[in-house]
Amino acid sequence: MGVGWAGVQHAEAYAKLPGVELAGIAGLEEPVRRELAGRLGVERHVAEWEELFADDSLDVVSVAVPTFLHAPITIAALERGLHVLCEKPIARTPDEAASMVAAAERAGRVLDVAFNHRQRGDIQTLRRVIEDGRLGRPYYAKAWWLRRTGIPTLGSWFTNREQAGGGPLLDIGIHVLDYALFLLGQPRVTTVSASTYDLLAAGGFGDAETSDKTGDGGGFDVEDLATAFLRLDDGGTLLVEASWAAHRTAGDEFGITIFGTEGGADLRVVDMEEIGTLKLFSDVAGVAAVTELHPRAGTGHDAVVARFLDAARNGGGGDGAAAAALARVVDAAYTSARERREIALS
């Protein structure tokens, strides 16, 4: 349910898979909903999610709606006996995330969260490089997603803390946290020291030219840039940056730089290109060497949906706990920025 960009990605991914029937689509934007249903051959499309849940034929549901609706809709779906694939972030707060995880455990159903970036071909390739030991032991990483003018419409629900839960750190920075920790082997975050800023948005700078987000949030009371320094339980450290607005080169860029004991790596993805620039750095007989890899494109949401359905059919799926852990890291970052101190995570 939900017919924004993410909801469309989910629907199209389901439609590609054999043995899957799209039973219905729910979304408030009637023209978009009607077009999507017609294109994918879905007979039933409704405005309200409660109408969709009245369908006894449902087995799974995707929740791709504004963040403040993730917890209530996901919990209702789990209590209805459905497996749930929720868009990122899992929720606005750790408490909401914990309530979703608890609901999945009570229901005995799969709760997964759509982190599609880790399914990219370049990130999967870099993960294999690290697993093969080509970097030695990674000990420092810097990962980022930076936009010069990327605020998802000033005054939309995205820019209202009550509805969104936070700004770019929770919106796009959560992807950065997920793929960075995935690449580093899923170490546990032990402490967080962060700063957030809203200096540019307050002056009206940074609104995305192509964004059409809606909602009645009004105003701007989230950050437009965040930086967080994370200590990891394996002794490593990770620096995360996320911005919607910054005086930097035009466009959109995310990536990661990793330093290891035997080599380094740098991945940069510009303007959502299918395959980023991936370079490895090493030392050959005392001479600096650079190798550029050329990965295949990944499958993004297609892979996320396929893995979710496999878990729903065959068991062994998640309960949302990993995504809830990321929510705790982001919450600690916001607390650190507000209180200007390092926050320890238990």
pLDDT in tens, 42-62: 999 999 999 999 888 899 999
pLDDT for the residue numbered 73? 98
211 has a pLDDT exceeding 90: no
316 has a pLDDT exceeding 80: no
Task: Give this prediction's pTM.
Answer: 0.95
Half-sphere exposure of 103 (CA within 13 A, CB side): 24
Tokens of 86: 């929720």
State the span(s) of the chain assigned CATH 3.40.50.720.
Answer: 5-116+303-318
Q: For residues 220 and 159, what is the distance between their CA atoms, to the nearest angstrom? A: 5
Provide, rounded to the nearest whole percent, the portion of the chain with pLDDT above 90: 90
Strands (E), the chain: 25-26, 45-46, 60-63, 83-87, 111-114, 138-147, 189-197, 225-232, 237-243, 252-260, 264-270, 277-284, 287-293, 343-344
pLDDT for the residue numbered 123? 98
pLDDT tens per residue across span 179-207:
999 999 999 999 999 999 999 998 889 99
State the span(s) of the chain assigned CATH 3.30.360.10.
Answer: 121-297
What CATH superfamily is the domain 5-116+303-318?
Answer: NAD(P)-binding Rossmann-like Domain (3.40.50.720)
Pairing of strands 138-147, 252-260: antiparallel
Average the pLDDT over 70-88 and give the result. Answer: 97
Contact 93, 333 (CB under 8 A): no
- Domain at 121-297: CATH code: 3.30.360.10
